[in-house]
Structure 1
Amino acid sequence: MSDQKTSGRQGGTPGAFSRWMQHRMNARMNRKVRRGKGTFMGMDVLILNTVGSRTGEPRQTPVAWFADDGDGRLVVASGGGSQNPDWFVNLMANADKATIELPGYEAAPITPHRLEGAERDAAWQRIATAQPRIAKYQSKSDREYPVVRLTPR
């Protein structure tokens, strides 16, 4: 799920096979969400629709989400490796074009807001409590994973 950069190649970028496999897995999860079944490994999943920052092409990425206060949703840009995942880069570059699809629902426009400081810390605590494996994953990384609040527009 998501854009994980976990190949054994130098530079931390995935090889052709890893990219092909990720594309297949994402497409399968997207079909599942659109059929109204949005969970993976015990986490709720939505489809994040973005526009490629370099290509301008539409992108659809299944992403785990966590409840936020009110009607927002929290997502974590983990993605493995030393760089942020492609979906995060695309989301921040073209925030005004982003939408999400919740299981069984049509795409709805959202506004992303990258959380910082105490706001991020509080959100991270909720996420790590809900899914301790994400905190463990973070502890093995040399970068702090961005946390983004997605709110309806």
Structure 2
Amino acid sequence: MKKILWLGALVIGLLINTNVQAQYYDGGEMTWEELGRIEWKNYYDELLGIDVQEPIFNSDLMMKDGEMITITGFIIPVDTDDNTMILSAFPFSNCFFCGNAGPETVMQLDLKHDRSLLNKKVTLKGRLKLNQNDFYKLVYNLKDSEVINVQ
């Protein structure tokens, strides 16, 4: 009898915990304002021979790492060997790569290169991945990206 009660309590506890997590974040629209709530740690990288910044993500962002989200932004043109697609909070003229915004305003996409999307405002769905350690990659990555809407 004790085993049955213990097992029942465990199952109820797991259900409650799962429900609390689902209430906290439902995989809905994520904003660039939320993504901008990071701090930066500066340090000298001996291999590169320069000062670099490492993002420090708040607990809200850490909880969303790996979660499905939707986000709206502008597909900006970048010239890379692997045809990388980048989503920006701002149009190309104001984007991070033009020097008018920070690295928290762009996101690398796991999306097939499609020139028809360049410079267009789009809404995408995908799995958010945070990058804290690889200086050579963007801070945010949207894995398994798919276009939901093109404006």
| Shorter-normalised TM range | under 0.3
**Normalising by the residue count of structure 2, what TM-score does the alignment of the two structures yield?**
0.24
**Normalising by the residue count of structure 1, what TM-score does the alignment of the two structures yield?**
0.24
The structure with more radius of gyration? 2
Q: Write 1 or 2 for the structure with the bigger share of helix.
A: 1
Of structures 1 and 2, the one scoring higher in RCO (CA 8 A, sep 6+) is: 1
Q: Write 1 or 2 for the structure with the bigger share of strand.
A: 2
